[in-house]
Amino acid sequence: MKFTLKQILGGMIALLFLGLSACKMDLEQEVWLKKDNSGKAKVFVHLNIPMGYDAASMDEMDLNSNSALKAMMEKAKEIKGVEITRFDTETQHSEEEMNFLYTYEFNFQDLQGLQAALCISDEKGISLQKEKKGKALSLDARQFMVVEEADQETLAYLEYVDTTLKTIIHLPKKPKLASSDGVIDKKNKTVRWTTKITQDWYSPSEQVMKVVF
C-alpha cells in the first residue's frame, strides 16, 4: 500500500488561506538499532494549523482518522518480522490554533523489515555496508518522506507549509563519522539530522544521511 500527504497538505493549505498564517508540519523518525540489526522505531507527526478549531472544516478534512501514518501502519501489518506496538492520534486545540499529533511505534527483526515498514519503497532507502573503519549505515531521507512522487501539486503545497524532518538513530556502538549535516553524540551513541522539506526536495542531488560506527 502506498501513501501520501497530498490530501493532508491540501486541506492545510485551504485552512491557511483562511488563517493568514503559515501551517507547520514536524516529522520525527527515531530508530534504536541493536548489534544483530533488530530494534524498534518510532514515527511522530505534528500538524499545527494556526487558527481556532472549526468542527465543520476539520470533519471535511478528517485529519483525526485519515492520517498518512495510518496507511503506513496498515502496510506494516503485512510485513514479516515487524510488530506494531503503538498507534495513537491526539488533538490539542485552542482558540488560537489546532494541533494534531500522531505516534506510530513498531519492533523489527532486521533492516529489511525496518526498510519495508518505514520507507516508501520496500527495496530501497536503508543500507548497511562494511567499511575499513567499521559499518556504514546509509539512509535516503527522500524515502522517509511520505510523498510518493514529485508531482507539481505536492511541490506547490510544500511552498506554503513549513515542513521539517528530524531523523534520530540510536546505534549499538559509538558513531565515528557522519555526513556533514549529522550531529553526533558519542556518549549516548546517537546521530541526528534535521532537514527542511521544500520545493527543492526532489532535486537531482541526493538526500542521503550516512553514519559510520
pLDDT in tens, 14-69: 544 444 456 788 989 999 999 999 999 999 988 888 876 665 555 445 555 445 67
Residues pairing with 129 in the sheet: 136
Res 96: pLDDT? 83
Task: Locate 120 and state its grid cell.
Answer: 516508501
Q: For residues 80 and 101, give the distance between their C-alpha atoms in angstroms, rounded to a whole number.
A: 27
Q: For residues 141 and 89, give the distance between their C-alpha atoms in angstroms, rounded to a whole number.
A: 24
Predicted TM-score of the model (pTM): 0.83
> In terms of pLDDT, which residue wins out, 45 or 198?
45
Res 60: pLDDT? 45
Res 153: pLDDT? 59
- Cα 174 to chain center, whole Å? 24
Domain boundaries, the chain: 6-212
204 pLDDT more than 80: no
Burial class (CB in 10 A: 0-12, 13-18, 19+), 41: buried
> In terms of pLDDT, which residue wins out, 153 or 198?
198
Res 202: pLDDT? 58
Task: Locate 190 and state its grid cell.
Answer: 546517537
* Per-residue pLDDT tens over the stretch 59-101: 445 555 445 677 778 888 899 999 999 998 888 888 888 888 8
Q: What whole-number percentage of the chain has pLDDT above 70? A: 69
